[in-house]
């Protein structure tokens, strides 16, 4: 075998070894995670709603996936906008800045509310440091594409990024049409790998009829049918086996009977303050020089009434994660569960509400998940809603942006990879070791062959040198004998005869 051929074989096996080890290491790193994720939020879906009626399609997640038995512990205040933004950023409300459905920013000197379309698309409200999952997905993945239907924060560019596909809030769009849109996005020529869908039910019915009403129970059954339609369409389009699905909500619900109304006009003059968000957490911005007067009057009212607490901003409990942000008001009044604030301008009007302290179990939303990355028939008691962002990043194989969440509990929801990872590691090194040994053996074999070749060449040279030496001696002695006789000279070298 020629030296050049041996070198080619060595190089080939070396490159093959590197490639196999790289592929095995990549497989070990990803642990077989799916690259597609769908998150669905049913607004106001309390942790125990599945117990109220038959839900055969939601039950598929209970049997074939994971769930939180007591729901998620969401963020205070337990309202729609702040908690939907917490879910997709992993940040507490005082960090991401969406501190309530309605709020005032003293630096912008502007007010925010869900019905203000200009504010919804203004990055000054949303792009203040938080990074939603669709931004993380599109910044880190070359082919990362996100499809978002009506999720809080998606209207505004955040870090100069907006979802690849987006539908703004429109209550006239039916749930089945939302599902069809997502299916189309997942099966496009340039498909999304991340989808988010928001539904305003059963929140709307919970406010109007109360959380324990027959209307809410009927709505739960209807939403179960929507989930069934979703699963059927995913299976029909061959998406189900490669898609992780999370179904959750922003908050739970409490009943708010008329007899538990608290009229703030009985304690403070309506002309002495501005309010952004009234019940069950009143955000009070006192007018100039009215701070102490309002606080003292509300404190006395709380003591007399016994069903609400008043805080100055600096005294808000740390457990609320609701203190260090300029949009949080100087005075915060927090009603006890089931009680409602009202004023003459904003009278009591709902049979159900949310927004209360997240320490109340009624405020906790449900959590279900199913897919190739999740265990089957597994559950935990609860975990924080800020943990969902880290979970989503893990499922999408993304590096999380700074957040307040943790993987400590949610990692237990995932298929255990220790055994498969250990086996993969063993096989990686075994294959690599065998290939390296093979390459080394071939290399050593080539070296030995080459050394033998060199030795044989040297022996050949030495033998020929001996022949030449003997021949020279023989020729020399012959020539000497011949030349010793003058008469032979002319016969051997005729041009050297004496006649010349």
250-264 tens-digit pLDDT: 999 999 999 999 999
pLDDT of residue 180: 98
CB 492 within 8 A of CB 482: yes
Copy the structure tokens of residue 45: 């879906």
Cα atoms found within 13 Å of the Cα of residue 9, Cβ hemisphere only? 16
The Cα–Cα gap between 109 and 129 comes to 20
The Cα–Cα gap between 151 and 37 comes to 15
3-state secondary structure of 94: helix
CB 356 within 8 A of CB 79: no
Q: What number of H helices and E strands is found in the chain? A: 14, 18
Residue 416 banded pLDDT, cuts 50, 70, 90 = confident
Best CA proximity match to 404, nearest among 132, 81, 89, 83 = 89
CB 389 within 8 A of CB 400: yes
Kindly state the average pLDDT of the residues 7-21: 50
Q: Of residues 456 and 254, which shows the higher confidence score?
A: 254
The Cα–Cα gap between 329 and 337 comes to 21
The Cα–Cα gap between 410 and 290 comes to 47
Cis, bond preceding 407 (omega within 30 deg of 0): no
CB 388 within 8 A of CB 405: yes
Q: Of residues 206 and 28, which shows the higher confidence score?
A: 206
Q: Of residues 4 and 151, which shows the higher confidence score?
A: 151
Q: What percent of the chain has pLDDT over 90?
A: 76
Q: What percent of the chain has pLDDT over 70?
A: 76
pLDDT of residue 467: 41
Best CA proximity match to 301, nearest among 321, 331, 345, 271 = 331
Looking at the predicted structure, is the pLDDT value of residue 302 above 90? yes
Looking at the predicted structure, is the pLDDT value of residue 418 above 50? no
Name the one residue in this structure whose structure tokens are 């927090």: 334
> Where in 74-178 does DSSP place strands (E)?
103-105, 110-112, 146-149, 165-167
> Where in 182-323 does DSSP place strands (E)?
194-199, 243-248, 254-255, 261-263, 273-275, 281-286, 308-312
Copy the structure tokens of residue 417: 């990879």
Best CA proximity match to 101, nearest among 85, 124, 90, 88 = 85
Q: Of residues 4 and 407, which shows the higher confidence score?
A: 407
Best CA proximity match to 31, nearest among 478, 415, 368 = 415
Looking at the predicted structure, is the pLDDT value of residue 425 above 50? no
CA distances from 45 to 205, 354, 389 (A): 11, 11, 19
3-state secondary structure of 42: strand
Residue 175's contacts (CB-CB under 8 Å, 6 or more residues apart) are 199, 201, 223, 226
The Cα–Cα gap between 355 and 341 comes to 12
3-state secondary structure of 196: strand
Respond yes or no: is residue 248 known to be catalytic: no
Q: Tens of pLDDT along 39-64?
A: 999 999 999 999 999 999 999 999 99
- Is the torsion defined by CA of 384, 390, 394, 395 positive or negative? positive
Name the one residue in this structure whose structure tokens are 């009234």: 278
The Cα–Cα gap between 39 and 195 comes to 6
By DSSP bridging, strand 273-275 and strand 281-286 are: antiparallel
Exposure pattern of 212-227 as b/e (b: 16+ CB <10 Å)?
ebeebbebbeebbebb
Average per-residue pLDDT for the chain: 86
Q: Tens of pLDDT along 106-138?
A: 999 999 999 999 999 999 999 999 999 999 999
pLDDT of residue 301: 97
Best CA proximity match to 211, nearest among 342, 353, 339, 357 = 353
Kindly state the average pLDDT of the residues 405-433: 67
The Cα–Cα gap between 320 and 362 comes to 17
3-state secondary structure of 318: helix
Q: Which residues sit opposite 197 in a β-bridge?
A: 40, 149
Looking at the predicted structure, is the pLDDT value of residue 213 above 50? yes
pTM, full prediction: 0.80
CB 200 within 8 A of CB 151: no
pLDDT of residue 488: 39
CB 385 within 8 A of CB 86: yes
Kindly state the average pLDDT of the residues 191-199: 98
CB 44 within 8 A of CB 354: yes
pLDDT of residue 4: 56
Query: 17, 55, 78, 80: which is the annotated catalytic residue?
Result: 80
Q: Of residues 483 and 103, which shows the higher confidence score?
A: 103
The Cα–Cα gap between 126 and 97 comes to 7
Kindly state the average pLDDT of the residues 439-446: 53
Cα atoms found within 13 Å of the Cα of residue 268, Cβ hemisphere only? 32
3-state secondary structure of 49: helix
């Amino acid at each position: 075998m020629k030296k050049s051929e041996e070198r080619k074989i060595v190089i080939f096996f070396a490159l093959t070894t590197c490639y196999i080890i790289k592929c095995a290491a990549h497989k070990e790193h990803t642990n077989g995670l799916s690259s597609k994720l769908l998150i669905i939020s049913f607004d106001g879906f309390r942790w125990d709603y599945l117990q109220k009626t038959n839900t055969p399609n939601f039950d598929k997640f209970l049997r074939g996936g994971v769930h939180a038995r007591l729901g998620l512990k969401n963020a205070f205040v337990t309202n729609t906008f702040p908690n939907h933004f917490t879910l997709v950023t992993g940040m507490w409300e005082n960090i991401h800045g969406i501190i309530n459905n309605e709020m005032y920013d003293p630096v912008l000197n502007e007010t925010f509310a869900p019905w203000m379309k200009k504010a919804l698309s203004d990055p000054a409200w949303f792009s203040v440091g938080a990074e939603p999952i669709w931004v993380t997905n599109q910044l880190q993945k070359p082919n990362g594409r996100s499809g978002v239907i009506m999720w809080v924060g998606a209207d505004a560019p955040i870090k100069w990024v907006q979802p690849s596909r987006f539908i703004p809030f429109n209550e006239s769009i039916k749930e089945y049409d939302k599902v069809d849109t997502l299916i189309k996005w997942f099966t496009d020529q340039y498909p999304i790998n991340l989808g988010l869908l928001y539904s305003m039910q059963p929140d709307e019915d919970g406010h109007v009829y109360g959380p324990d009403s027959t209307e809410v129970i009927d709505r739960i059954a209807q939403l179960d049918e929507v989930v069934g339609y979703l699963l059927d369409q995913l299976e029909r389009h061959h998406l189900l086996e490669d898609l992780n699905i999370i179904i959750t909500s922003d908050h739970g619900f409490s009943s708010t009977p008329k007899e538990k109304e608290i009229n703030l006009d009985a304690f403070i003059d309506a002309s002495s303050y501005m309010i952004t968000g009234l019940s069950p957490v009143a955000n009070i911005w006192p007018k100039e020089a009215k701070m102490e007067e309002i606080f003292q009057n509300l404190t006395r009212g709380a003591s007399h009434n016994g069903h609400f607490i008043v805080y100055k901003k600096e005294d808000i409990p740390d457990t609320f994660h609701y203190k260090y942000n300029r949009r949080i008001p100087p005075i915060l009044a927090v009603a006890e569960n089931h009680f409602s604030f009202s004023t003459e301008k904003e009278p009591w009007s709902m049979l159900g509400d949310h927004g209360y302290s997240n320490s109340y179990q009624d405020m906790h939303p449900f959590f279900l998940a199913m897919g190739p990355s999740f265990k089957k028939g597994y559950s935990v008691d609860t975990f924080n809603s800020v943990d969902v962002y880290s979970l989503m990043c893990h499922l999408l194989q993304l590096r999380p942006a700074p957040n307040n969440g943790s993987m400590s509990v949610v990692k237990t929801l995932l298929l255990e990879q220790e055994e498969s990872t250990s086996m993969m590691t063993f096989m990686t090194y075994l294959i690599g070791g065998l290939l390296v040994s093979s390459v080394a053996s071939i290399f050593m074999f080539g070296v030995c062959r080459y050394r033998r070749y060199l030795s044989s060449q040297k022996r050949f040279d030495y033998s020929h040198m001996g022949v030449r030496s003997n021949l020279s001696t023989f020729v020399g002695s012959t020539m000497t004998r011949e030349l010793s006789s003058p008469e032979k000279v002319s016969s051997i070298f005729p041009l050297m005869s004496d006649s010349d």
